Amino acid sequence: MSGRIALICGAGQFPLVAARAARAGGRDVFILALKGIASEGVAEFPHVWLGVGQLGAAFREIEARGIEEVCFIGGLGRPEFADLRPDWGAIKRLPEIVRLLKGGDDHALKGVLRLFESEGLRVVGVETLAPGLLAAPGAMNRLPFPREMEDDLAFGHECLAALSAFDCGQAVVLHHRRIVALEAAEGTDSMLLRVAELREKGRWRAKGPVGLLIKAPKKGQDLRVDLPAMGPETVSAAAKAGLRGIAVEAGKVLILDRGAVAAQAEKAGLFLHGFSREAGR
C-alpha cells in the first residue's frame, strides 16, 4: 500500500512509531496533531496542530492535500463538551457530536469514525501501517505460559467478552478464576496500581508472584479506531502488582517496541503471551 495518509495523533509514543513505520513502508505521511495531547516528536513530519473541536479545520487540511485515507493513533481522554471549543465545521455537526458523546467510549469512537467516513474518507487501522507493533502469537519472551493457567485465561477472556455489551474496559486481573480487578475508565495501568494497593492492604492475600493480566479488545470493537495498547508502564505496573504474567490477544493489541517490552517483562519475572481467541488459548 502506498500514497498519502493522514495520521490523527493523540498521546503517547505510538503515533510517532507508527508514522515512522508508515514512512518506511512508502507512505506519504501528514500529521494532524491534537494540541496539548500529541507528543512534540511528531513535528518531524509535515504536520498541523489542531484542537479536539476543530473538526472543520481537520477536514480542510485533509482535503487540501488530496488525502483519502486517515488513521487514528494514540491515547485520547474522553473530552467534555464544554472543552471542545468547536469550530464552524464542528458546529454544523453538533447534533451528531452530542449523540456520540452520550454513550460509552466504543459508541463515541464509532461515531467519530462515521463522521470521517461521511466525508468520503477511508479509515484504516494502524496494523496496516505498522504490523510489527501488534502482539505476536505464543511466547514473546523466554518465560512460557504456564499450562495450569489455561483455565484462568479462558475464564478471563469469557469475562471480558460478556462485559463487552456494557462498553467498559479491555483488561482483567484474575487468580484461580477469581476476578481481582476489572478495567473501567481508569485504564489498564491505573487498574494494576489498584491491584498493588489491594495486596499492600491485605485485601488480596496472595504469596509470591500470582495472578494473570488479560488484555483484549471488546467483542465487536472496531479496531480501526480503538486497538488496545500496552507498553513499558504496563509491565512495570504488573510487576508492582505481583502478577505472574500477561496474556494479550495476538494481532489485536498494540505493544510499543515489542522486543524491548518482552525483555523488560522477562527481567521482571513476567511471561508475555499472545493468545488466540479462535484457539481459546
- CA 73 to CA 59: how far, in whole Å? 17
In this predicted structure, the answer to whether residue 87 has a pLDDT above a threshold of 80 is no
**Grid cell listed for 231:** 507498553
Which pLDDT band holds residue 3 (cuts at 50, 70, 90)?
A: confident
Q: What is the pLDDT of residue 254?
A: 93
264 vs 167 pLDDT, higher one: 264
* Coil, strand or helix at 212: strand
- CA 138 to CA 30: how far, in whole Å? 35
Grid-cell match 486517515, residue found: 70
Q: What is the pLDDT of residue 280?
A: 46
93 vs 57 pLDDT, higher one: 57
In this predicted structure, the answer to whether residue 146 has a pLDDT above a threshold of 70 is yes
Q: What is the pLDDT of residue 122?
A: 94
pLDDT tens-place string over residues 158-204: 999 998 888 777 899 999 999 999 998 888 999 999 999 999 999 98
Task: Mark residue 151 as left, alpha or beta (left: phi above 0; alpha: psi -120 to 50; beta: remaining).
Answer: alpha
How large is the angle between the packed helices 94-101 and 105-117, nearest 10 degrees?
150
Average pLDDT of the chain is 87
Which pLDDT band holds residue 99 (cuts at 50, 70, 90)?
A: low
Query: Across residues 107-129, what is the average pLDDT?
Result: 83
Query: Across residues 41-49, what is the average pLDDT?
Result: 94
Total-model pTM: 0.83
Alpha-carbon distances, residue 2 vs 8, 28, 29 (angstroms): 18, 8, 10
* Coil, strand or helix at 114: helix
Say what the alpha-carbon torsion angle 139, 144, 231, 83 is, to the nearest 10 degrees: 90
Q: What is the pLDDT of residue 12?
A: 87
In this predicted structure, the answer to whether residue 124 has a pLDDT above a threshold of 50 is yes
Query: Across residues 107-131, what is the average pLDDT?
Result: 83
* Coil, strand or helix at 213: strand
